[in-house]
């Protein structure tokens, strides 16, 4: 048994969907969440910048004494996941592989849609991971750059006059193509799931990359004997690089409960960190 916390990081707020899933399936675990809200978004940045930021984010969590690191960011997982895995001695969980496994298990007609940020789609990692598991799979991947600001702006309710047309605009091709499974490759996107279901229909199965990463985390920690001895009572602490932003208010929308224990992290101190390779 291991009572150290699980570390979760994202470029901003989206990874809170993974943190929420972890808290639900592992209620006895302590969680440390780091959101790089001062340098968000990552999805429109170049690959080298994303890799550098990702190494610093992971190094920060390792410095807090976590027993595992969950990269709850589709962009970082796609662009820098292998780089991060090579630099850690503790369990490292990204969101691409778990979501790909779930999508392959869910699809009936081998037509899988993927929606994510521009950087994630450009990396090609989701189609690659899906086809490696199912060579018959056809994958249609599309970037949905407006979804993140819509979620953070609170436009998530069914019938929303702004989000509804955006969902139709981005998903029309996937619907007409006949995908029966859709991977939500950005951890913001599950908050738009009700609108997406309304548009695509209940027959299309939605795969939440953050939730699948949480299930993988539980399995990996159990396999390595790293689960907490507690079955309830876990706590959550939050770190952000823009303490003057609206993190607490928006995070409450993601988590469904008030957010306390939010601590600032200076970007300058973060940039002095570097993930040490094995």
71 is catalytic: no
Mean pLDDT over residues 80-109, rounded?
95
Residue 130: band (very low, low, confident or very high) from pLDDT cuts 50, 70, 90: very high
Judge contact between 191 and 156, C-beta under 8 A.
yes
CA–chain centroid gap for 214, Å, is 10
Mean pLDDT of the chain: 94
Q: Please determine, for residue 215, whether its predicted confidence score (pLDDT) is greater than 50.
A: yes
For residue 3, name the pLDDT band (cuts at 50, 70, 90).
very high
Backbone angles phi, psi at 156, to 5 degrees: -130, -5
Q: Which position among 71, 73, 90, 144 bears the catalytic label?
A: 73
186 an active-site residue? yes
* List 71, 90, 144, 186, catalytic entry: 186
The predicted model scores a pTM of 0.93
pLDDT for residue 277:
47
Whether pLDDT at 37 is above 80? yes
pLDDT value, residue 247: 87
């Amino acid at each position: 048994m291991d009572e150290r916390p699980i570390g979760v990081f994202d470029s901003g707020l989206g990874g809170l969907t993974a943190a929420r899933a972890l808290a639900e399936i592992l209620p006895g675990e302590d969680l440390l969440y780091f959101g790089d809200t001062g340098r968000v978004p990552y999805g429109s940045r170049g690959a080298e910048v994303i890799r550098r930021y990702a190494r610093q984010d992971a190094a920060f969590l390792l410095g807090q004494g976590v027993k595992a690191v969950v990269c709850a960011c589709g962009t970082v997982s796609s662009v820098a996941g292998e780089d991060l895995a090579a630099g850690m001695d503790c369990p490292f969980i990204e969101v691409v592989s778990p979501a790909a496994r779930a999508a392959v298990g869910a699809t009936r007609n081998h037509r899988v849609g993927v929606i994510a940020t521009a950087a994630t789609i450009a990396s090609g990692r989701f189609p690659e991971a899906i086809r490696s598991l199912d060579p018959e799979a056809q994958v249609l991947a599309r970037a949905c750059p407006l979804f993140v600001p819509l979620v953070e702006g609170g436009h998530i309710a069914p019938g929303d006059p702004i989000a509804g047309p955006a969902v139709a605009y981005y998903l029309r091709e996937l619907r007409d193509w006949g995908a029966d499974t859709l991977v939500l490759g950005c951890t913001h996107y599950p908050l738009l799931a009700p609108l997406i279901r309304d548009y695509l229909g209940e027959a299309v199965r939605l795969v939440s990359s953050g939730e699948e990463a949480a299930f993988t985390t539980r399995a990996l920690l159990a396999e390595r004997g790293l689960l907490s001895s507690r079955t309830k009572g876990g706590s959550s602490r939050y770190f952000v690089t823009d303490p003057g932003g609206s993190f607490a208010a928006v995070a409450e929308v993601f988590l469904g409960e008030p957010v306390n224990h939010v601590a600032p992290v200076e970007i300058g101190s973060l940039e002095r960190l570097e993930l040490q390779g094995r």
